[in-house]
Structure 1
Amino acid sequence: MIGRRMTAVALYGSLTVLSVLWLVPVAAAFVISVIPIEQTRLGWWKSGFADLTIDNYRRAWEQGLSQYALNSFVISVGSVAMTLVVGALASYAFARMDFRFKRTTFFLLITTMIVPVQMILIPLLPWLRTLGLSGGHQQFLGIVLVHTAFGAGWAIFMMYSFFAEVPEELLEAARLDGARHLDLLRHVVLPLTLPGLVSFAIIDFVFVWNDLLLGLSLLDRNHQPITVGLANLQAPHLAQEDLVAAGSIMAVLPPLVLFAVLNRYYVRGLFAGGVKG
């Protein structure tokens, strides 16, 4: 009994220390974001309440971060929505339908998870130009399709287990009432697997929101996401730690808010995916 208690104390103590260490750079970024640049160079840890200001946030927002943030919302929401639709339809087919080459197709889709985006980045550029998705607002559709292609494998991998665990008796009862596959998916399967869908949506949103490489390579300056905007806040010959810190805090807020709002579904999804029966 004493040994278990000591193990628990050591485990939680270690996790607490690691959490505090992880929070140090986050706290430093927040403090730098609310003090003048002069105070930052003297030492952010020496600042007091008299030095606090929100001017850094206003300046970062006015220097173009607002447009970058809007672009990120368009890209992230569009990518997550399309990936969820494709993933849900494919997962239902693999979990509840029989067709030729089912296992082979499933294997090929899952293997897309291990394909690095850098491998096909160069071929993507002429493909998007050929499809007319390399100019204007069509660029949003182009990058959404790319994120969907890379996220579909993850979606199927995560959703398949949730769809497969739906009791067959419920589906059979709905079929007796005349329900077709789309009716089963919409009225029976999706409501029962909502925690799993939300769990994937949160993970995919964070992944797309934090993407830098695709946004930098496939989009022009007027359509690039907030990650590129943060890099642009840092002038080549002028250090703007205050603006970069303020922009970083604003960039991390949407995923945090999303997780806080949908946290209960996320936790239920993790338990549902990890416990069977």
Structure 2
Amino acid sequence: MSSTNLTITLAHAIAYLTAPLLTSYNAAVIVKLQSLLDANLTALYAPTWSVKDPLRGSTRRCLVLSPECLPPRPIYQACVSAGVQWFDWVDALGGFEFELYVDPGCVAVRRAAGKLTTVWTGAVAAPPLPTPRTGLASFSDAQNRAMSPNKTVAQQLLADDDEDEKIFDLINDANWGPTFPNARSSSPLSTLSSAYSRCSSRSSNSSSSASDGAYSNSSSPPSSTYSSSKGSSTSSRRDKAKQARVYIDTTKTDVTPYDGGKTTVLTGGVMLGGGPVKASSHKSKPSASSWRSARA
């Protein structure tokens, strides 16, 4: 697109410069001069030529032509190769100093007094702009779609509304993302520490009743799945806390010896079997005969 626009714009600029020479030189010289100018100016303008930004590099493309000095190198080389005298050429152009501006879609001339004269203007395609609706699109494409006879105005408005809704949904999803309920789990260490602290402060009666409750809870079948994640997380924490409880009764300190003092258990323990039977402590009284025999 840029190369096509450059070729068309240069063709109009070269036609303006060589038009006064048609009466002074033959057609072969004019054609040769035009082809040389096209090659030299294309090499000069191509690096800074941008259809998206027509004013970029405009000052570098400006050529100053004066009857008091030689022209810039691209034009002077074309004059020498084609056999055209520069001072005759500049006199045919009017004999005054001027600036030649060649930009995408525009050829203009500015005299020393500051008056700008437009030589040629052409339609330049609008630069592609990123839009959220169509990605990369130009103004001309948008106008063509708006003027399309396939859809009525109402249908086009409805289609635009649908596209806007989709865009807003995408933006909302990208900013916030999907949200899911997260079950909050407690730390196992905190659960155990709280259980131990509660155990140490309980009395013997409460510990026995709590142990019965813990036993019944541990022997009961698992509960059904809860409908909400919050309820399930709460019940699971309670079950884990009950299962992790270990009760130690510190009020019972009596020690009962068993097995001749070799084994000791706390009060309330059950000892299966028994130790050896102790010998009878009753001593037999010595008879009179034995006493006499001993005395003798």
TM-score range, shorter chain: under 0.3
Bigger radius of gyration among the two: 2
More strand per residue:
2
Which structure has more relative contact order (CA 8 Å, sep 6+)? It is 1
Scaled by the length of structure 1, what TM-score is found? Answer: 0.20
More helix per residue:
1
Scaled by the length of structure 2, what TM-score is found? Answer: 0.19
